[in-house]
Amino acid sequence: MTFSSIACVGIPFIGAGLLRRTKSRNATALLTWLTTTIVFGLSVYFFVQTRASYPLSDMTAAIFSLISAFTWWLVSFYLPEYMKAEERSRSFFIFFLLTLGAVQGIFLANNWIVLLAFFEIMTVTSFFWVIHNQNQEAITAGYFYLFLGIAAGLFIAIGLVFINSLGLPLEIGVNLVSLSNSTLLSWAIACLLIGFGIKAGMVPLHIWLPKAHTVAPTPGSALLSGIIIKCGVYGMIRTAQTINLTNPMASFPTNTGLIVIILGILTMLLGVSLALLQSNAKRLLAYHSVSQVGYIIIGIGTAIYLGNEGSYGLAGAIYHTINHAFFKAALFLGTGIIYLRTGQQNLYKMGGLWRKFPITALLMLIAVFGITGTPGFNGYVSKSLLHHGIIEAAAVGGGLLPWIERLFNLVGVGTTASFAKLYYLAFLRKADPELEINGKENGLLIFPLLIFALVITFIGIKPELFLNKAIILALPELGVSSINNLLATNFWVGREIFNMIITLLAGISFCAIGFRFHLFHYQSPAWLSIEYLGRNFIKGLSYLGSLIERKYEQAMANLSAQAKTCYTWILNFSSRLDTSGWGASGQISFSNINFDVYLILIAFAILLIYILL
């Protein structure tokens, strides 16, 4: 750990401590901004330093730290303006900074235990973002978030316990599979993958994600989607590193990679299909976080599957992590502006907003281009890398994998369709007469969006720059050493672009068809509708839930009564032991000095006799 990395972790905590003392709202905002700025500067410095001492140092950590600090820094411009409308803004600011520190700690930790510690801190502090509004929905979502977060931490802890009990080092970046071939290690790695998968929103443990991201204040949602779930992704990358990436199919349970790929594609499909049905803008974006994390997981999966040859998958995963942070944060912040000025999150009640918010509309369009993978924007770059990866995996593996490649394209269509829907409903369509608009766009609100849009476009136009200067450097230390193909990647291949454009067109036409035939809010007879079924299903579930809850409460009451009895019993027992000869509770047992000497001598005698036995 260098000084700058420790400072990256420590300064947000110090800043959060100072925030308790600030007098005015402006001072709070300024202090927050200052802290994030310092952290951003430090992480840039750290990045540069890491690059300078390249093969010796940890590039992956530097990249993740830089991206998270950058996103935080931009959001801190947006935050004060947005939080004017919210209550208890100070506590949000404090937890904003605490979470920054924890996230930096996760990315910069060089030891699994430290990583776990910061992971837990991050869970708890970001829990306060989720419950910030303190209404029923927020609290339910918050507890979902907290419990699954703690479950994730437990899974990780169990994995680490397994690793440690095998006598393997707990340093991050050690290739564990080459040190031991015990089955316990596979369990350990499975536990780690599940633990980090929960945080990343992997199917079937993604359930907390849409709830939590919807109820948090928008800057919180942006960071939750942009960075916090990337902590899980980061953990999965680090876990992949412990599996022997340089020598893949021979060493470790061969189907690990395949399982991860299948989980990834399921995550994508589920996320995107649920996203298509949403009418709440933030919920739609949240489900897209699930599906985009699926892309990343597929990348990691291909890297595990292909091992040394999996450079496309891994580079694509890291690149998509970064890109997703940018465009998803931008999209959330854009929706936040609309929500701030109209109080509306329902897409069907918006409309025609491009007249009132022209700059927001433009910048969000760029972000939409990014997420749909339009050539010339950043999403295209990472998606084509991931696509490359999956094609290579299909070429090696065959079987299921070619189908996964097709589904991969299908998800692209779904993504485009749902964003076309979002953009059309919110901006292009005729305005809803009931929509009230108070206020306009504001420089501070627009600024982070602008920067994000610039970065999105810049990466889209010059994708090689960041790939060659940073991501490729991170690959060898992660265990993927054949990077020559990647260095020579040409993103502007006609076939790829054509493929993408086909996907886009298909998506838009699907969207148009959807609107034409009301697929997105399809009203069939009640007994047939998904909602009806769903409602009954949920009714049944809730009945079951309440039943279980009642039983659980009874059991807990029983248990606590038992525990109380037990405690009283222990108390009585020990006090009886204590007063009858061993010493008197609460008073000096001076007269027992004879007894004490006796005890010592008997102990001595027993010790002596021990050798005869």
Partner 1 sequence: MAKRLVPILAMILVIMALYVFMLAVAELPPYGNVDNPAHNYVYEHYVNNALEETGVLNIVTAIILDYRSYDTLIEATVLFTSIMAVLITLKKGEQH
Partner 2 sequence: MVALVKENAPILIVIASLFSAYLLPVFMQYRRYGIVGFLALATQFFVLFGGIFLATQVLAKGSFRYILAGWEAPWGLEITIDPLSTLFLIMIGLINLLILVYALPSLADELGNKVRATWFLTLFMLLTAALCGMALCHDLFNLYVFIEVATISGCAIVGAKGDARSTEATFKYLILATLGSCFVLGGIGFLYNLTGNLNMLFVNHELAQTWSNYQYALWVSLSFFIVGFGIKSAVFPLHVWLPDAHSSAITPASAVLSAISVKGYVLGLVKVFYIAVGPLIVASLNISDILLLLGMGSIIAGSIFAIAQTELKRRFAFSTIAQIGYIFLGLGLNNQAGLTGAFFHIFSHALIKTALFLIAGFILIKTGKSQIKDLTGIGKQMPLTMGAFTVVSLGMTGIPLFSGFIGKWNLLLGSLEAGNWLAILVLLAGSILAAIYLFPIIKQAYFTTNQDYAELKENTIMIVPILILAGTVLLLGIFPRPVLTLASQAASMLLGQ
Partner 3 sequence: MELTIGAKLLNNYPFLGSLIIFGIGCYTVLSNSNLLKKLLGINIMESSIFLFYVATGNIRGGVPPIVDLAQPEALYINPLPTGLMLTGIVVSISVTGFALALIIKLYRFYGTMDANEIFEIRNEGKNNGSSS
Binding mask 530-569 toward partner 3 (x if CB under 8 A, else -) reads ----------------------------------------
Which of 117, 124, 170, 266 is close enough to bind partner 2 by CB under 8 A?
117
Alpha carbon distances (Å) from 32 to 7, 12, 28, 90, 122 = 16, 9, 6, 10, 18
- In the complex with partner 2, the residue whose CB is nearer, 102 or 368, is 102
Query: What tokens does 603 get?
Result: 């102990």
CB proximity list for 156: less than 8 A, separation 6 or greater: 112, 116, 119, 191, 192, 195, 196, 235
Examine residue 587 and tell whether it contacts partner 3 (CB under 8 A).
Answer: yes
Examine residue 183 and tell whether it contacts partner 2 (CB under 8 A).
Answer: no
Examine residue 585 and tell whether it contacts partner 2 (CB under 8 A).
Answer: yes
- In the complex with partner 1, the residue whose CB is nearer, 52 or 606, is 606
Examine residue 603 and tell whether it contacts partner 3 (CB under 8 A).
Answer: no
The string of DSSP letters for 535-591 reads HHHHHHHHHHHHHHHHHHHHHHHHHHHHHHHHHHHHHHHHHHHIIIII--TTS--GG
Q: Residue 346: phi, psi to the nearest 5? A: -80, 125
Maximum alpha-carbon separation in the chain = 99
Q: How far apart are CA 73 and CA 178, in angstroms?
A: 40
Peptide bond preceding 476 in cis form (omega within 30 of 0): no
Examine residue 192 and tell whether it contacts partner 2 (CB under 8 A).
Answer: no
Q: How far apart are CA 235 and CA 1, in angstroms?
A: 19
H-helix or E-strand containing 162?
helix 136-165
Binding mask 131-160 toward partner 2 (x if CB under 8 A, else -) reads --------------------------x---
According to DSSP, residue 335 is labeled H
Examine residue 136 and tell whether it contacts partner 3 (CB under 8 A).
Answer: no
Examine residue 537 and tell whether it contacts partner 2 (CB under 8 A).
Answer: no
Instruction: Say which amino acid occupies 434.
Output: E
Examine residue 582 and tell whether it contacts partner 2 (CB under 8 A).
Answer: yes
Examine residue 578 and tell whether it contacts partner 2 (CB under 8 A).
Answer: yes
- In the complex with partner 3, the residue whose CB is nearer, 501 or 597, is 597
CB proximity list for 582: less than 8 A, separation 6 or greater: none
Q: Residue 120: phi, psi to the nearest 5? A: -65, -40
From partner 1, partner 3, partner 2, none, interface partner of 594 (C-beta below 5 to 8 A by class): partner 3
Which of 93, 114, 349, 433 is close enough to bind partner 2 by CB under 8 A?
114
The string of DSSP letters for 493-535 reads -HHHHHHHHHHHHHHHHHHHHHHHTT-TT----TTTSHHHHHH
Which of 594, 607, 610, 612 is close enough to bind partner 3 by CB under 8 A?
594
- In the complex with partner 2, the residue whose CB is nearer, 52 or 607, is 607
Stretch that binds partner 3, among 25-33, 382-390, 413-421, 583-591 (CB under 8 A): 583-591
Alpha carbon distances (Å) from 221 to 79, 225, 247, 509, 533 = 12, 6, 39, 30, 30
Torsion angle (degrees, nearest 10) of CA 120, 122, 127, 128: 130
Least separation in angstroms between residue 135's CB and partner 2 is 27
Which of 56, 250, 593, 608 is close enough to bind partner 1 by CB under 8 A?
608
Q: How far apart are CA 194 and CA 188, in angstroms?
A: 10
- In the complex with partner 3, the residue whose CB is nearer, 250 or 588, is 588
Least separation in angstroms between residue 596's CB and partner 1 is 14
Site of interaction with partner 1 (CB under 8 A): 598, 601-602, 604-606, 608-609, 611-612
Residues that bind partner 2 (CB under 8 A): 114, 117, 120, 157, 164-165, 567, 570-571, 573-575, 577-578, 582-583, 585-586, 588-590, 592-593, 595-597, 599-600, 603-604, 607-608, 610-611
Residues in touch with partner 3 (CB under 8 A): 587-588, 590-591, 593-594, 597-598, 601
